[in-house]
């Protein structure tokens, strides 16, 4: 009964200027996925789910992000006759804007691929991971799953064709992420968005995205800070997060390069030019929520450039 255990990290998607096309991985939190061969049946079974609190995740394979990702990979490899058990150990909050469903899907594909002798590259696993993630919010997008799989900062030129590219990570770039204990589902966060954008606003956003990418390639952190301005999504979604404007203001006052909503929220991220500053910024952001009576967690991390990690293989 060969067994593989992996750790799949949380991710920050959109990164202010790149709705559905930018994302990066952080060190913690994350999910652990265990995949195990079992010759007593064929197909995929989810045998254990932990860490869900009062939430109930489906164990039906087709309704579970990890299960669907593993199943589609198994079918692609022509290994439907193999029996694979999955354990899903959730170690990050649901509806947090930190890519919880993406982490489970990415962890499952890496674990199953390794279990079967690693026939595919990480990049080749992306399609099956996105199919799993699609179960959670009904949208085919890779801004969480791509950085979770391969680490670093990723740009998705096209979600339809999964044309994904690694971007450089500037020296000393760190992030503080604050997760207030409120839940925002991705479906609900998408529902508040308008289908139309003013030409002037679109031009502003294109300029910010272009200069953000330039800053990564030139290691120009001041330019990166000037670029982290979301003219389209943040103004529409921030009303879903109590105290967002105050949290953002404190982060910038304490020296963050930029601050915006992580994914669909409610988590808020702030990019900083050092780990020490990120700690101070994270504490300041958390204090705003605390003053409003909202509990929160702070995660401080460099950009995680490893992605999903294989932590144990038992033969």
Chain-centre distance of CA 70, in angstroms?
18
Question: Is 101 labeled as ligand-binding?
Answer: yes
* Cβ-Cβ contacts under 8 Å for 158 (sequence gap 6 or more): none
Strand ranges (DSSP E) for 43-82?
43-50
* Cβ–Cβ under 8 Å, residues 309 and 30: no
Q: Is 132 annotated to bind ligand?
A: no
Question: Are 89 and 33 in contact, with CB atoms under 8 Å apart?
Answer: yes
Was 117 annotated as part of a binding site? no
Task: Give CA–CA dist 175/153, Å, rounded.
Answer: 12
93 annotated as belonging to a binding site for a ligand: yes
Q: What is the DSSP letter of 161?
A: T
- Is residue 22 helix, strand or coil? strand
292 is in an annotated binding site: no
Tell me which residue has tokens 């995740």.
Answer: 57
SS3 94: coil
Q: Two tokens at 185?
A: 């589902």
| Tokens at 193, concatenated | 């968005």
Whether 256 contacts 272, CB under 8 Å: yes
Backbone phi and psi for residue 55, each to the nearest 5 degrees, phi listed first: -90, 150
Tell which residue, 121, 122, 120, has the closest CA to residue 77.
120
Phi, psi values for residue 314, rounded to 5°: -115, 120
For residue 20, give the H/E element and its range. Answer: none
Instruction: Say whether 212 counts as a known binding-site residue.
Output: no
Is residue 99 a known part of a binding site? yes
Q: Is 98 annotated as a binding residue?
A: yes
Question: Binding site for ATP, residues?
Answer: 93-103
Question: Binding site, residues?
Answer: 93-103
């Amino acid at each position: 009964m060969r067994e593989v255990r992996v750790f799949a990290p949380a991710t920050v998607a959109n990164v202010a200027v790149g709705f559905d096309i930018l994302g990066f991985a952080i060190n913690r939190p994350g999910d652990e996925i265990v995949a195990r061969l079992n010759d007593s049946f064929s197909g995929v079974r989810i045998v254990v789910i932990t860490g869900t609190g009062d939430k109930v995740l489906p164990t039906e394979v087709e309704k579970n992000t990890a299960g669907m990702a593993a199943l589609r990979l198994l079918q692609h490899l022509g290994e439907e006759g193999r029996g694979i058990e999955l354990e899903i150990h959730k170690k990050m909050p649901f509806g947090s804007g930190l890519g919880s469903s993406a982490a489970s899907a990415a962890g499952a594909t890496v674990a199953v691929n390794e279990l079967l002798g690693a026939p595919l590259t990480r990049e080749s696993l992306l399609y099956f991971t996105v199919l799993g993630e699609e179960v959670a919010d009904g949208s085919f997008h890779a801004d969480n799953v791509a950085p979770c799989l391969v680490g670093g900062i990723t740009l998705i030129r096209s979600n339809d064709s999964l044309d994904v590219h690694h971007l450089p990570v500037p020296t000393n770039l760190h992030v503080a992420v604050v997760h207030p204990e409120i839940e925002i589902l991705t479906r609900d966060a998408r529902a508040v968005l308008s289908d139309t954008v003013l030409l002037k606003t679109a031009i502003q956003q294109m300029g910010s995205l272009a200069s953000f990418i330039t800053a990564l390639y030139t290691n120009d952190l001041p330019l990166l800070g000037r670029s982290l301005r979301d003219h389209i999504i943040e103004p529409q979604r921030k009303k879903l997060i109590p105290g967002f404007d105050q949290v953002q203001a404190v982060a910038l006052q304490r020296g963050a390069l930029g601050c915006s909503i992580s994914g669909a929220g409610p988590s808020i991220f702030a990019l900083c030019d050092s780990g020490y500053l990120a700690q101070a910024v994270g504490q300041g952001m958390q204090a705003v929520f605390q003053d409003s009576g909202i509990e929160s967690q702070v995660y401080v991390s460099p950009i995680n450039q490893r992605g999903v990690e294989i932590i144990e293989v038992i033969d």
